[in-house]
Amino acid sequence: MTSRSDVLRTVMLGTGTTQSGLSRLSGVHQPSISGFLSERVEISDDQLDRLLSCMGFRLEVVRRPVVPELNRSERRSWRLHRQLSILLTRETFDEWRPTLERNLDRLNSRVTGQPHERNLKRWRELIERGDLPGLHRVLTGLDRDSIQMREVSPMSGLLTQEQRREILEQAG
């Protein structure tokens, strides 16, 4: 897939548009455009579309599902946490909260190093706020950040042994 900076660079070259020229056309400061091109500054699809429109182009984004590459451990962890996400409601969260807090305290005394310490802090913040949408995202996310969060999950002891066994048998 072509990066956003590559798309911007290609259109600028094709239209003979300089950074300063694009800055004048768009109202975006030239150093920001330079940052986008060098990938020092992240550019969103909306920002890129706006810059491209100044040069007579539009951005087409093609979306398609992709099966992520997870190792066996990551896949098993995702399946277990996915089941917890299915069970997670305001009521179950209130029931689970004492266990989650005990698990966080236990993990906090054992875990060292980054990103684990930072992720434990993030778990604690999600639980203290009762942020169910945030918890669902971490429990089911396939991005690297969610995978790393689950490495120090406070969710142990919430599924029965039978539920765990069934899920792990399905995971292979």
Question: Where would I find the H helices in the chain?
Answer: 4-15, 19-26, 30-38, 45-53, 72-87, 90-110, 116-129, 132-140, 144-150, 161-171
3-state secondary structure of 59: coil
DSSP letter (8 states) at residue 154: S
pLDDT in tens, the chain (172 residues): 589 999 999 999 999 999 999 999 999 999 999 999 999 999 999 999 999 999 999 999 888 898 899 999 999 999 999 999 999 999 999 999 999 999 999 999 998 999 999 999 999 999 999 999 999 999 999 999 999 999 999 999 999 999 999 999 887 6
Say what angle helices 30-38 and 4-15 make with each other, to 10 degrees. Answer: 120
Contact at 8 Å (CB) between 164 and 110? Answer: no
In what helix (H) or strand (E) does residue 29 lie, and over which residues does it extend?
A: none
Domain boundaries, the chain: 4-53, 72-171
The pLDDT score that the predictor gives to residue 170 is 84
Burial of 131 (0-12, 13-18, 19+ CB in 10 A): middle
The pLDDT score that the predictor gives to residue 2 is 83
**How many Å apart are CA 1 and CA 82, to the nearest integer?**
29
**How many Å apart are CA 131 and CA 124, to the nearest integer?**
10
**Residues whose CB is less than 8 angstroms from the CB of residue 124 and which lie 6 or more positions away in sequence, other chains included:** 104
The pTM (predicted TM-score) of the whole model is: 0.67
Distances (CA, A) of 47 to 36, 118, 133: 10, 31, 27
Contact at 8 Å (CB) between 144 and 119? Answer: no
Read off the tokens for 107. 């993990």
In degrees rounded to 5, what are phi and psi of residue 84?
-65, -35
The pLDDT score that the predictor gives to residue 1 is 58
The pLDDT score that the predictor gives to residue 90 is 96
**How many Å apart are CA 163 and CA 56, to the nearest integer?**
56
